[in-house]
Structure 1
Amino acid sequence: MRLPLPCQLPAVLQPLTLRNQQFLHEAVAAHPELDLGSWSEWHARQFDQVAAVSDFVLTQVQRDPGLLCGLMRSGELERSYGPGELRGHVAKVAQAAQSEDELARNLRRERNRQQVRIIWRDITRQADLGETCRDLSDLADAAIDEAYQWLYPRHCQQFGTPIGNRSGHPQHMVVLGMGKLGARELNLSSDIDLIFAFPEGGETEGVKRSLDNQEFFTRLGQRLIKALDPVTVDGFVFRVDMRLRPYGSSGALVLSFNALEQYYQDQGRDWERYAMIKARVVAGDQAAGAQLQDMLRPFVYRRYLDFSAIEALRTMKQLIQQEVRRKGMADNIKLGAGGIREVEFIAQAFQLIHGGRDLSLQQRPLLKVLATLEGQGYLPPAVVTELREGYAFLRYTEHAIQAIADRQTQMLPENETDQARVAYMLGYADWQAFDAQLGQWRERIDWHFRQVIADPDEDESESELVVGGEWSPLWEQAQDEEAAGRQLEEAGFKLPGEALRRLAALRASPQLRSMQRLGRERLDAFIPRLLAQAVEHENPDLVLERVLPLVEAVARRSAYLVLLTENPGALRRLLTLCAASPWIAEQIARYPLLLDELLNEGRLFSPPLAPELASELRERLTRIPEDDLEQQMEALRHFKLAHSLRVAASEISGNLPLMKVSDYLTWLAEAILDQVLALAWRQTVARHGQPMGSDGIPCDPGFVIIGYGKVGGLETGHGSDLDLVFIHDGDPQAETDGAKPIDGAQFFTRLGQRIIHLLTTQTNSGQLYDVDMRLRPSGAAGLLVSSLGAFERYQQSEAWTWEHQALVRARVLVGCPRVGQAFERVRAQVLGQPRDLEKLRIEVSEMRAKMRASLGTKATVAGTAPNAFEPGMPFDIKQDAGGIVDIEFMVQYAALAWSHEHTGLVRWTDNIRILEELEQVGLMPAADAVLLREVYKAFRAASHRQALQKQAGVIDAAQFADERRQVRRIWSELGLS
């Protein structure tokens, strides 16, 4: 605790009293109305004390001498405020404002007035630690809420009143105060950590041009921050820090309750649990805020005894310790050893471990938590007493440091004057006596911290080692360029100068220049670890080239850097995958949420089978309200991105062979299409009602999605688009049974349009798939959705041979089983009809020739010229002669030529099983069938490798030369030209 003020100021501060007296004489001369004569000797002595140690108080009184006189006359310096009194002062000045500029000015001036009062009472021992923290927190609560209440009606007048989709009621924002504000423990120069939320999606009403609720509250949040944060001639109200919100500085400023809940369920980190312990509704809708906190409580407090929290807090503390050592912050009474943060960690470790079961631990103020730990027997009374008294001493010291100049710092001063000020405010005659007492308290706190948090198996000497610490000087440019280049070269970099250039470009990037302090500190902790792991790879230059763009992309979402810093295994997997595939590196850089997938090695390299895929996606979407289309679309895209990465990682690691890769990617597309169809159906029916089927019974859904090409042939690759055809079995003339009826033809057209919209719309997470609908009857000129009867008529009487070739690889992906079975019957009938073989050969050959001419390699005449096999010449794996399309055309020709005799040829849609069928029925020699299957798989594997390397499907002509010749031989033996 702190001692009474010494009777006399230290010698180094006594000249300041002359400065103070000079100011008073000048103030009286300039402002005769000031009644300084009414000051008591006691007031005068207090002014000497306070003004000598607090430049901030003196500056405020110099700017407005009447401020102090008013406080004295009102008696506010001599008494504690009653309940609601401080709020009343803030409300009065806020409500008097006629403009936003005046609101900002009034709030700043009232803040300065209250700050003078609070510092005065703190220094003169009229307020204890509890009152000081409470007044500061009440001031923040009042400033935030009064500013919000002033801004909200004016914002509604401009943009309309936000109405919830589900409730139909007007919406208010909820402002969560985090950290010290949430616990009502603000210090004299705290910033305020806030999270903004609103109950539900919807739109504003009452204006011509409505906004959705997200945009409404985002703009309102920006105005609220502007009212509080910027520094003007009147100072600031509170520094506002929004980085604790989901995704940090790069995340949405305001999120709906559902979006917040889903984020914390799916992506919430241990440090976010730690932060959320102290969350409190400080402004806005208190009732809705209570509901939000109930929603988030399971994320913070687990129902089981969560001993993993110890390790999470230990990791966080190690990161802090590294930063303290690196930046020379041992004199930081918050972050340094035995500092304020260690007391907080002790209390919160017990809260995180036991709070789910012991509800008495679910509270915010630290001193109350310590009392509960003692009362419930978690800690011995003697330990709690030391922690409580040591914490109070540190907080009083923190206030003393910040009272000097209203600066947000916890660093012990280095100059003699400020050291004397701090010692005096704590009741010590000199710095040496104060520093000795501070050292004792920090030593005791650090000892207790180690008993609770420290790893019992950790070697004390090892604990001082900083992972990647040998690279910190290079990253921080603490060594000359020659020494840095030599270090890189000795570590295995082939082009050290280029590596230095890349690191310098990262340092100079706009993303890093705009980073907040915490984010930059996280980056500074991460880069040395990245370099330490990069040099373990065979080609560290390549690793750095591919990973640094990702680092730049996520720099302002520094939680991702913490993720990789805290999880060396995830960082190792990231570097391995990026070194192996620039496609993966680019995907993760574009969509950093994929970094989550790297945390679980077993999950990353073991993608689920089709039933588990479908079930997982269904479960994800079930948690989202049916009317929240934005979240549904994001969930679908997150799902696709995550599982696409898992498949690519499994392919690169050798866990999945080619055929399984295609299977998984195809299953993924089917699972997504199934849910997209369900969403589109639900939305279209909600608007227009159900359509009637051809049998007069309402459809449910009477609709199928047919997959052609790669997805139809179970050969989906990385980045494949979807060739789709939509077929329905409804009555095109009958109207739907909804409030806005339309005929069946229109209904299914709108359903198809909705499906394409859901699949192709670009969101923050990209689009699901490119969709190609040109294989539908009559191509781009045809109807978007065909009835089953129209499809059958077209295929029987109008379709070209190439369209029947495409039908070989067509199958039902999702939709109504009854309609799907009817489609399969139509397909079998169309493909199974007898054909003129000579005419078929000519038409297939002519179509192939056209494709080679337009799509093949010009330099080798699509692989048919004499130079087509020479080393150094290009070979298009797919389009050139002897490549993938030749094999596909042979399979399609065989299916069309002989399926009327061998129905098994149209049972399958994939080339491999059709080739197996050709071998079994004797239509192709076994050696040729085996050769085509193996060559086809080899070609596709090469295409996959090229895709993962972000390269076109073109390789050196010397590769696969013999295989291509064999494919051309079989092509000729089938009579194709």
Structure 2
Amino acid sequence: MTSGDRTSALTALARTGFSRLAEADTLLGELADVVGVDRADAMQLAQRVADPDRALLAILQVARRDADAVRRNAADPGSWRALWDIVGASDGFAEFYLRHPAELAHLSGAGLTVPDEQTMRAELLASVGDVDGFASDASDAAWVALRVRYRRLLARIAAYDLGQDDPAAAIPVVSAALADLAGAALEASLSVARARVTGSAPASFPRAQVEATRFAIIAMGKTGARELNYVSDVDVIFVGGSADDEVVSEARAIDIGTRLAVQTMRGISGPEIEPPLWEVDPNLRPEGKQGALVRSLASHEQYYARWAKSWEFQALLKARTIAGDPVLGAEYVHAVQPLVWHSAARENFVEGVQSMRERVTDHIPAGEVTRQLKLGPGGIRDVEFTVQLLQLVHGLTDERIRQRGTLDALDALVAEGYIGRSEAEAFGRDYRLLRLLEHRLQLRGLRRTALLPEKDDDLRVLARATRLADTASGIQAVWEGIKREVRDIHVRLFYRPLLSAVAALPEGERTLSTEQARDRLAAIGFRDPAGALRHIGALTSGLSRKATIQRHLMPIMIRWFADGVDPDYGLLVFRRISERLGNTPWFLRMLRDSAGAAERLTHVLSCSRYIGELMEWIPESVAWLDDDALLRPRSGKALQEEARAIQTRWDNIDDAMRSVRALRRREMLRVAMAAVLGTVSLEELSDALTTITEVTIQATLRAVRRVVVPPEDDDLDFAVIAMGRFGGREIGFGSDADVMYVYRANGVDQHRASQLALKLVAGLREQSEDHRLPLDLDAELRPEGRSGPLARSIEAYAEYYRRWSLSWEAQALLRARGVAGSVKLITAFLELADEVRYPSAADQNGLREIRRIKARVENERLPQGADPARHLKLGPGSLSDVEWLVQIIQLQHARSVPALRTTSTLGALSAAVEAGLVPADAADKLAASWHLASRLRSANTLLSGQTSDVLPADRARLDGIGRILEYPPRSATRVEEDYLGATRRARRVFEKLFYG
């Protein structure tokens, strides 16, 4: 061969997948000489195998020992292809064929199908001799024959597996066949064990007693679920007993069963000439390693009923008879299954399963965590634990999801609405891929492992074996992608709060039957149980997926509604929202899967009519409950940008204002939900409500001005000045927006300017009207009150304040703040206001007048029949006491104490403390009362959906207000006492400082 030909040959070998090119070239030549196979044919087969170099060397080593065996194999294209596939993926099988070259003959027809269970069981029983299990010459040779025949059948399964174009899709078939093969091996080993314990030797038992002993092997874990690996511990439980007490006593039968168990395990994994198959692990039995190896059925039942831990029931989920007495095995499974499906009702069951999964992860060596396919984060156990927990919790009442296999259970959970289709599809796909990776790793050495290799060469072989990638980096990237996706789904589903809630439901509430539901609903707090039943029926009836999911959600949501203030109203609005959202896919999926959205929804709906009424019109707001960031008030900048975009988008004022009103409703709802859920402070709440109101007024003014002010009069300046609590950025739910209006003509005819200003005011008031969420622009704090003009020029304001201003008008200006319109005009107005509200010297007559007005307000402005002590705004020690005291201090000292020049009540109070004008302990009492009154006022509106300044005397309403303020249930008296106590303390401070 010329150097060019040799170079070309080596290049072809490299393209085929060989790494050691020169060695491969030599070995191919030797194989052609020894076996007589075509070099090109061998190279074509090598191209598809996981490791062509190892495959070639393995086949040649067998050929050196038995060339005829390899030659006969190569004569059959199917057998020849299967041999390359198997030894190219498995050093363990290469060693097996080197020990037993004659086994190559049994690869004929391999790769087309997997052997069925009956065939495998018959073959393995035949390999050990007498199928009846009492061969007199049973010996260690039988176990050797069993292990050889087992690997013959295992090779046929591997040939099928390795020959698939989509090996991941074949995982269920392959895993089931491996489990069936394991069961057949245990049956055959048990057959030998019976012969070994029968006889006349001192350690043996009479044949009659052995025949009368009932003995069954129960498969657990992956074997029980028919999803076994190539090399995995086979978890089993042994159960025994007597079939005839006159022949063998129960105790004697347990002794015989124990000997049978020990000998059966020895046949599978004891030391012999032929290597062990796998480990038989009986440690899931009652009491684990410390417990008896074999127990009677009654003993098992007694243990599980009295002493078993929750994890033991999780292990029994996949229990299945696999060998021995099928009737006894069926009795065992029938006895334990009810216990399995009622285990989730145990106290803290869900939390226990979650902790167990975390302990498994914690015990992985640090250096292996990122490579652990089975136990690590994002690995096989994440899928299996998630599926099993969902099964155990919901299987308590739903027999349709009681499946042994992980993939079968996933399908059932999807069909019954417990998992979303997209998540189940991703979980199922990733589970198959993880199992494929694990299978190929175990095939390599025919040993148990679930660790991703570290060396690039080994990773490259794994990539080719799985057909998921071509390179080491490629298979690493596949693993990282699977791991991320599995972990994400696992965390969302495994730690789903709904699981703990469902598991903790009292037995009588796990299902809703018409006969008992009415009494149950009344007992847990529904005032109209018949109406509640109608709503439940409307939500859950039918065969749609939506109705199915609602049926799963409803028992626990009913309990959560009942924990609220008004469960009847909450359920009613939930029904309406569900109907409004129709078949929107995210809605029910979010309630089922999210971290607390369902419970949050029941809480806000049953606590607040204000929220319920808005949410009916904005049902998509439910999505905010799944993300705390969406419940945070939006910034003024963001709202301004949206409002300006509305103005750009709409030319018609009616359309523009519809969008502005929708913006305001949406943001008020967002803040209301945050308030009821306790995610915002009072200061954040007031600031957010003020910002929303400001943005609404600004957007409305822009829209109205475009219609009212023609281009030729565009020089007219106009501004809106916030007053009262609005000016102090202290508004709550239901508060009016106190305002004043000011304009400057700037060359526009004065009469014309006045008319345009009044039209702007009229337009603002008209366009801001919202029958669903009223916004009252209250201008009563303007000069001369209701008698004065609605809008004045800046010059008129200056003239008025210079000549006729009253003390209360100066007091009102303390909270004046510009919010909309001309910035220059606002600046000019506030400069004018500063002269009035921050006088160089306090007007003592004016201060006396303010004190007289305060006393008159308390006597005259309270609603007729109202209890002054319960009035949140005007009552003794309430909002007005604190605000008037702070304001009189500002009028006296703001000129000399700049920090007092603020529109904020609490800000000014804090400045007064710093200046030594108010004792700190007195300020604390004032602030506490003001703070509590403000919160109660907003909570009252949120609860009822109506504005009221009176603390209700009704105990149910008081309790509802308390719940919104995060008091525990049934705290009406405590709410009342807290308020009355705070206002009494504040009133004493007020009287001392205000009138002193």
Question: What is the TM-score with the length of structure 2 in the denominator?
Answer: 0.43
Instruction: From the CA coordinates, give the structure whose radius of gyration is larger.
Output: 2
- Structure with more relative contact order (C-alpha pairs < 8 Å, separation 6 or more): 1
Question: What is the TM-score with the length of structure 1 in the denominator?
Answer: 0.44
More helix by share: 2
